[in-house]
Structure 1
Amino acid sequence: MAHEDNIQQEIVESLAKKYIELDKRQSKIEALNLEQLPAQVKDLDKSITEIKEMKMTNFWEQLNEYGSQLKVYGEKLQAIPKYILVRNRIEFDIKSKFVIKIVLWLSLAVAILIAMVVMLLIELSSRSEAKDKYELVRGFYPEVAAQVDSGYLVNRDKLIRQANINITRRQQLLDAEINAQQAVKMSKEAQQKLRHLKKQKK
């Protein structure tokens, strides 16, 4: 009997717990006020529809405005001529002092460069000529060439300086001799003219 009483007690407690849970759920459902939910859903749906319609209206208005602006821009583009004649005119003032100075400086630089090139060519030609002459000395006067080579190796600067002095002196003597010969010739011509004049006076 005690065992049966325990089973009944457990069944009663279990049913009581379920009842309490159902009562709590019912209280929560009543608190949610489900009867008013359909109306609230309808109001929400209506609000969403109105918002959608409002946004679509604004969108179409903005789209129409953009279309009007594009139409205006299209008309302006149509008004622009397809071919525009452009004449490039470049004016150059040759009287400008700055331009004249640049031209003068460039001309001077070119002249200096040409002079340097000419001097370089003359120097190269002179060296080539001197080399050829020394080759002749070595070919026809080997003893003199040997002396020159030995002296060049021992005291090059002194020999070159003395050689230049000797060349200058010889050139001066040669010029003096030529001038003397010309003076003698002119003197003879003058004497002949004088004799010729004396004969004409007689």
Structure 2
Amino acid sequence: MLAESYRVLQVPFGTDMPQVRHAYRRLVLQYHPDRNREAGAQEMFLRVQAAYEYLQRFHNVVPVTAYATAGAASASQPKPQPVSDWDRYQYVYDPPADPKEYNAWAAVARERARKQKEKDHAAYIRATLAMKKKWWYPVARYGSYGVLLFGVLVGASFISIPIFFLLNGYFKPSLMGIITVPMGLKIVQVMLAFRVDIRKHFGEDLPETVS
């Protein structure tokens, strides 16, 4: 993680903190989500943050020059604090070759997935609430319900065809009309799924504001 942190910040291994801090500020401005909308910019921004925080903790324990210069470390110097599993595996997406490390890697992977899910849900809420403020929101929403109603009526009409023939005394046509029933049921099924999509896309279950 130590060498990886220097690599992420694009500075040589063993660089002292003033230059590390300068590189960190430059990269934060380059990859900040408010300034950079490109794919991968947000992930790089988080990696830069994590690398800088790791080096800050490391420099508070052991001078980097002790590791940058061969033979400079001595027994009197304090040892670096153990690196957490999160720091070790936060950006490791492939399972480790050592089976003993797998459980720690898997726990980090689950936590990473949980955090990503929370971020994705928060982004969905922000985007949906912003959409609700657009002038075209009610037009699109009620237009979708118009399509839904039309689809349900079409499905119901397909289902009712054999019933219509049977009630009017047309026995044979009613038997032939039975083939339209599965079509009508399928249309209604599709419309029910469409109803779920409408609720999610238009944020009907979301509050008007997020606390």
Q: What TM-score bracket applies, with the shorter chain setting the length?
A: under 0.3
Structure richer in helix, relative to its length: 1
Normalising by structure 1, what TM-score? 0.24
Whose radius of gyration is greater, 1 or 2?
Answer: 1
Greater relative CO (CA pairs within 8 A, separation 6+): 2
